Structure 1
Amino acid sequence: MQTFFSGLLALILFLPLQVFAQQSRPFQIHSHNDYLQKAPFWTAYAAGASSIEVDVILKDGKLMAAHEVASIDPKRTIESLYLDPISEGVKTGLVIPSSFHLLVDLKTEAYSTLEILRKSMENYAHLLYGSANPEGLKLIISGNRPKPADYSKYPEWMLFDFQSKELTKELPWEKIGMVSLSFRQFSVWNGKGRMVEAEREKLQAFIDLVHSFDRPVRFWGSPDSKSAWKAFHEMGEDYINTDHPMDAADYLSKLPQNVYQNPSIHEIYPARFEVDGAKVPVRNVILMIGDGNGLAQISSALFSNGNQLNLTQLKNMGLVKTQAADDFTTDSAAGATAYASGAKTNNRAIGVAPDGRALENLPDILDQYGFSSGIVTTDQLTGATPASFYAHHSERDDAEQLAAYLPKSKLDLFIGGGKDRFAAQLGELEQAGFELVDDLGSWEAERVGYFAAPGSLPKMLDGRGEYLMDATSAALDFLVKKGKPIFLMVEAATIDSGGHENSSGMIVSEMLDFDRAIGRVLQFADEHPGTLVLITADHETGGVSLPQGDIASHTVELAFHSDDHTGILVPIFAYGTQADEFRGVYENTAVFHKIMKVIEGKDHQ
């Protein structure tokens, strides 16, 4: 009973994963050598394993759960580790015996061992499969087995594991529960990289042959890695062999979320590079921030878009260190404040130094140089990144306090969501000269504000459409008509959300949306010499890597180390006038100082 209660505790702890796996997974797991788990049966059952293996040795009339005689423990029998816990679990409603089978691998002579097994199972008759109990437990006998001609002599609940490449219709298929072979009969693949195609074809042919007889297939001695699990799943192996059922279930259950196929390829704008890096004065600066957008996020979009992006045309690149003043890993508030003011601050702080002192931001500073400034975001306008370009407050979530700064700012344009946050400021915004417009049209006012949504904007996967492209175009058209130098910050905010939610589809679709806006900005830069375009991120989110993909089908698999921000370097791309100033590896605060350097034209006086 002690084994049962320890197993029951494990089940309770793992039950949420079991329910999730059973509801969503299009795969089946075989828990190999399951009796070696810390919690035999329960670990595999909690992982949703459909096949659970126990090696059995007949010793002194008892069925011991062991691989060899030397490892026999008198307390570890098939009854104590499996049949008793299953029986108790069925009584309490925790175990559904039809959701799995026991694969009993006989290590001793077949006929004598099966005789004892059959007698032992009389005590568990209420559990067992039969015509009167179609939802009962099945046992599949592996290892030492009787002759196929004798299979029919055994009860309904006892099936057999057939182990041969020679499959014919004359076999007693009604008593064959699965077909198993050693993986090494087909391949020497170690589970890293990709299987040799000729070997993969042999394996696939055997899987298809077994399926032609309407039976499941399993391979023992197979590689036990994420790459292997995915390969076997894609090939249609019915019971994926693993010593790590929880890890395999977690990985395979997340594959539908981690693999994304881009349904629509966008054409890139062919940048001219006529003044790229030219040492001429900077008239316009466009800073584009992909929130949470690291190198893996960019790569996933690149490979999903036919191996081309507007962004990846660019030749001047650098890497940015993102640490906050008080933490190794920054948030968007401290990260955007560094870009807007050139100073490190604490996480959660917007436009203020660690001591609370207000920091001048780029729109305020550039107003003194005759610039007209604007911000565009897919976030609410009180979000950390856009707010860092107009507000000064120590807590990023104090939306009402942040909103109060917008009428006082030097911005001539704002576009974003979150109108409800500004209920108390609408009158002040109009008094400050902002015309609050209802669409992304052609505007004649001196200052313009466009609230794109009362709250948050939809994600691309939820139908946001061409908002970012249209908003960026409208902002550029409006600002350039003023006849002044311009500063525009454009934020693609929801790449970050994809990292937090570990959603490959969200990351790729949001990054591709950002790239379409990048193409529009590159076109503007070519049409307006003297424009500097900077494209970067405040931080990376999700600890994303890109283990596999297929460029031809626009498909990528992302993997996630975290659901939070990370401290990894983020790329910065530069295009246009003096773009080469942004090469190298430097702190996020240096982006501000480099912008000021090229605007002040210190190298040209």
Structure 2
Amino acid sequence: MRKIFLFSLALLFSWQLAAQESKQFKIHSHNDYLQKAPFWEAYAAGAKSIEVDVILQDGKLMAAHEEESINPAKTIESLYLDPIRKGIENGLIDGIDFTLLVDLKTSALPTLDVLQTVMEDYQDLAYGKANPEGLKLIISGNRPEVTGYESYPEWMFFDYQSKDLNESLPWDKIGMVSLSFRQFSIWNGKGRMVEDQREKLQQFIDQVHSFDKPVRFWGTPDSKTAWKAFYEMGVDYINTDKPYEANSYLKSLPNTVYQNPEIHEAYQPKFELDGASVPVNQIILMIGDGNGLAQISAGLFANGNELNLTQLKNMGLIKTQATDDFTTDSAAGATAYATGRKTNNRALGVDPSGKPLQNLPDILDGYGFRSGIITTDQLTGATPSAFYAHHAERDDASEIASFLPKSKLDLFIGGGEEKFIEQKEALEDAGFLLNKLDLATSKKIGYFESKGSLPAKLGSDRGDFLKESTQFGLNFLGKEQSPFFLMIEAAMIDSGGHGNNSSLLISEMLDFDEAIGEVIQYADQHPGTLVIITADHETGGVSIPQGDIASSTLELAYHSDDHTGIMVPIFAYGAHSDEFRGVYENTEVFHKIMKLVQGYHSGN
């Protein structure tokens, strides 16, 4: 007994977060006595109904489903009533907010007689007028006639198991209404329940609720899809043999399900020069940090099944591995795009040995190109700094910041001004007009949108920062009538993946797509523009188990809270965009760009 209690104690503390009560659903721990730590696993998982099968044998109530599985040490007292009392005495249980569903496997009347005798020693726990917060036992399985319910003690209630619901029933003694799920449906928990079966089930649920009683079904499929379906239908006690998994999944729904409140209209590209073999004069590289295929799909389905991005026809897949790791980080991923060389994770603009590498702004300056970077991250963040810095550690912000005044950039817009306080004079000496978006007079502009990190778009006043910065950047770099390169990063799609937060992920992806629309429209208006849209890596191992396009609602599932090695899509539009089709390494993006530049421009 002591071993069971100590194991139970360890479980309770290791799962203390899962034990928090959910106000949105209730778990029924089916056949709970079969768990490694009966009662405690269910309690730690937040179950509000805990099932124990009992067999009357030699005057004792054994916790078992059939006689062959009886263990003399496992009784309703040892597995349930004693642990509950000990838990209250030790402060592990601070209130009884659950019921025991006692499933009688032997004849009702003699078994209930013994149960009443047993409970005489647990009156301190039992529900009653003198103890309204006490433990309720709901009798299931073999039960007395309904007409006899009123003769049993205050703490004893009954599991009513019939479709015959009427006002004459002794509702004050009915603890819940339960039926076999198979009376309504043969659904296996995969895909979607057949609609007429679902309607019959919903009608019964609603009928039970009309009598202000909870409903439960046994024999249900035991999967995430099923748990969510029953939760959405209003099943009060969701039946499961996996209480911890069910509780964890259902608790996650506020983070994993998102309904997009506002759909933006997608720009329809003209395709007049898409893939045309004309001189490339404007190169716009757009990087959605962490933006894999599932993220794009989520944005698509949440936006009425249409995105600016998904209008494009030329696309491929990018392999993202770093030199020292199968799964890249943003520093190595962005360095591959900026320099055409693989490097170690955490390294910016240097090779695996730490030797500085020339980046696109450095190189393109020799071909007469102006360059700029725009990001929703801090400007010392891994992706933007790969286009101006040369340092082996991405978190050395002060070291990274020191490279910006020496860069070949003509424009930078992003957050993180506090990291550049010591560089302000050097930036001004390098010709940057700081914190004024002035198209008319300045040849170099540096704009800090925030002292530290920018807020997420959702729930803040960030507004259309990325879209408007993109518009400004295109106009600013294009005003000199010289060729230019512009890198635009949507940084917080990655944050949504890391945090397994669907609302953040989808809203940031849609914000990115609005900027993509501006760039595609610019390309249509400015021949010789090449637009490349990709990601540095995928974040979260995201999939989309369920959704509803009509209501712009998506449920995302997450395999990880980190980056993954999944290939990421690449889209291209405009001049020579067809050359970006295929499956290739991230470094090839750089080399494809440089091949086009060298084909049409002369270097110094």
Q: Could you state the TM-score of these two structures normalised by the residue count of structure 2?
A: 0.98
Residue 4 of structure 1 contacts residue 84 of structure 1 at CA under 8 Å; is this kept in 2? Answer: no
Q: 2:377 aligns with which of 376, 379, 382?
A: 379
Q: 1:457 aligns with which of 446, 454, 458?
A: 454
In 1, the alpha carbon distance for the partners of 2:60 and 2:9 equals: 25
Aligned match of 2:443: 446
Residue 54 of structure 2 contacts residue 65 of structure 2 at CA under 8 Å; is this kept in 1? Answer: yes
Aligned match of 1:56: 54
Matched to 1:454, the amino acid is K
Paired residue secondary structure (1:586): strand
Q: 2:499 aligns with which of 490, 498, 501?
A: 501
In 1, the alpha carbon distance for the partners of 2:229 and 2:166 equals: 27
Paired residue secondary structure (1:330): coil
In 1, the alpha carbon distance for the partners of 2:23 and 2:497 equals: 22
Aligned match of 2:7: 6
Note the 1:19-38 alignment, pairs <5 A: 19=20, 22=21, 24-38=22-36
Aligned match of 1:520: 518
1:180 aligns with 2:178: yes
Paired residue secondary structure (2:579): helix
Residue 493 of structure 2 contacts residue 505 of structure 2 at CA under 8 Å; is this kept in 1? Answer: yes
Residue 367 of structure 2 contacts residue 601 of structure 2 at CA under 8 Å; is this kept in 1? Answer: no
**1:500-520 per-position Cα deviation (integer Å, ceiling 9, x unaligned):** 111000001000000000000
Paired residue secondary structure (1:98): coil
Please report how far the alpha carbon of residue 462 of structure 1 lies from its aligned counterpart in structure 2 after TM superposition: 3.2
Q: Cα 1:223–1:573, aligned 2, differ >3 Å: closer, same or farther?
A: same
Residue 97 of structure 1 contacts residue 137 of structure 1 at CA under 8 Å; is this kept in 2? Answer: no
Aligned match of 1:77: 75
Please report how far the alpha carbon of residue 25 of structure 1 lies from its aligned counterpart in structure 2 after TM superposition: 4.2
Matched to 1:404, the amino acid is S
In 2, the alpha carbon distance for the partners of 1:446 and 1:236 equals: 62
**1:510-560 per-position Cα deviation (integer Å, ceiling 9, x unaligned):** 000000000000011001111000000000001111111100001100111
**1:363-397 per-position Cα deviation (integer Å, ceiling 9, x unaligned):** 00111111000000000000000000000000000
Matched to 1:196, the amino acid is V
Please report how far the alpha carbon of residue 93 of structure 1 lies from its aligned counterpart in structure 2 after TM superposition: 2.1
Q: Which runs of 5+ in 2 are unaligned?
A: none
Aligned match of 1:42: 40
Q: 2:417 aligns with which of 419, 422, 425?
A: 419
In 1, the alpha carbon distance for the partners of 2:179 and 2:601 equals: 72
In 1, the alpha carbon distance for the partners of 2:117 and 2:409 equals: 85
Q: 1:585 aligns with which of 576, 583, 586?
A: 583
Residue 180 of structure 2 contacts residue 218 of structure 2 at CA under 8 Å; is this kept in 1? Answer: yes
Residue 544 of structure 1 contacts residue 560 of structure 1 at CA under 8 Å; is this kept in 2? Answer: yes
Please report how far the alpha carbon of residue 240 of structure 1 lies from its aligned counterpart in structure 2 after TM superposition: 0.2
In 2, the alpha carbon distance for the partners of 1:543 and 1:465 equals: 28
Matched to 1:16, the amino acid is L
**1:204-259 per-position Cα deviation (integer Å, ceiling 9, x unaligned):** 00000000111000000000000000000000000000000000000000101111
Note the 1:244-263 alignment, pairs <5 A: 244-263=242-261
Please report how far the alpha carbon of residue 427 of structure 1 lies from its aligned counterpart in structure 2 after TM superposition: 0.3
In 2, the alpha carbon distance for the partners of 1:245 and 1:267 equals: 43
**1:299-349 per-position Cα deviation (integer Å, ceiling 9, x unaligned):** 111111010000000000000000000000000000000000000000000
Q: 2:237 aligns with which of 226, 236, 239?
A: 239
Aligned match of 1:554: 552
1:467 aligns with 2:465: yes
Please report how far the alpha carbon of residue 442 of structure 1 lies from its aligned counterpart in structure 2 after TM superposition: 3.0
Residue 542 of structure 2 contacts residue 556 of structure 2 at CA under 8 Å; is this kept in 1? Answer: yes
In 2, the alpha carbon distance for the partners of 1:299 and 1:198 equals: 30
Residue 89 of structure 1 contacts residue 95 of structure 1 at CA under 8 Å; is this kept in 2? Answer: yes
Moved more, 277-286 or 403-412: 277-286
Moved more, 245-254 or 7-16: 7-16
In 1, the alpha carbon distance for the partners of 2:590 and 2:517 equals: 23
Please report how far the alpha carbon of residue 448 of structure 1 lies from its aligned counterpart in structure 2 after TM superposition: 0.8
In 1, the alpha carbon distance for the partners of 2:335 and 2:229 equals: 45
Note the 1:199-218 alignment, pairs <5 A: 199-218=197-216
Residue 97 of structure 1 contacts residue 127 of structure 1 at CA under 8 Å; is this kept in 2? Answer: no
In 2, the alpha carbon distance for the partners of 1:31 and 1:187 equals: 21
In 2, the alpha carbon distance for the partners of 1:88 and 1:59 equals: 25
Q: 1:488 aligns with which of 481, 486, 489?
A: 486
Aligned match of 2:431: 433
In 2, the alpha carbon distance for the partners of 1:252 and 1:442 equals: 51
In 2, the alpha carbon distance for the partners of 1:32 and 1:5 equals: 23
Matched to 2:409, the amino acid is L
**1:240-289 per-position Cα deviation (integer Å, ceiling 9, x unaligned):** 00000000000000101111000111111111000101111211100000
Q: Cα 1:203–1:603, aligned 2, differ >3 Å: closer, same or farther?
A: farther
RMSD value, Cα: 1.2
Aligned match of 1:189: 187
Aligned match of 2:97: 99
Residue 414 of structure 1 contacts residue 448 of structure 1 at CA under 8 Å; is this kept in 2? Answer: yes
Residue 25 of structure 1 contacts residue 253 of structure 1 at CA under 8 Å; is this kept in 2? Answer: no
Q: Cα 1:443–1:512, aligned 2, differ >3 Å: closer, same or farther?
A: farther
1:118 aligns with 2:116: yes
Q: 1:530 aligns with which of 528, 531, 539?
A: 528
Paired residue secondary structure (2:19): helix
In 2, the alpha carbon distance for the partners of 1:265 and 1:10 equals: 45
Aligned match of 2:156: 158
Residue 441 of structure 1 contacts residue 474 of structure 1 at CA under 8 Å; is this kept in 2? Answer: no
Residue 362 of structure 2 contacts residue 408 of structure 2 at CA under 8 Å; is this kept in 1? Answer: yes
Aligned match of 2:280: 282
Q: Cα 1:97–1:158, aligned 2, differ >3 Å: closer, same or farther?
A: farther
Residue 35 of structure 1 contacts residue 41 of structure 1 at CA under 8 Å; is this kept in 2? Answer: yes
1:89 aligns with 2:87: yes
Residue 25 of structure 1 contacts residue 252 of structure 1 at CA under 8 Å; is this kept in 2? Answer: no
Paired residue secondary structure (1:375): strand
Paired residue secondary structure (2:17): helix
Q: Could you state the TM-score of these two structures normalised by the residue count of structure 1?
A: 0.98
Note the 1:319-468 alignment, pairs <5 A: 319-438=317-436, 440-463=437-460, 464-468=462-466
User: How many residue pairs were aligned?
Assistant: 600
Aligned match of 2:125: 127
In 1, the alpha carbon distance for the partners of 2:13 and 2:484 equals: 60
Please report how far the alpha carbon of residue 602 of structure 1 lies from its aligned counterpart in structure 2 after TM superposition: 7.8
**1:426-453 per-position Cα deviation (integer Å, ceiling 9, x unaligned):** 0001111111133x45342111111111
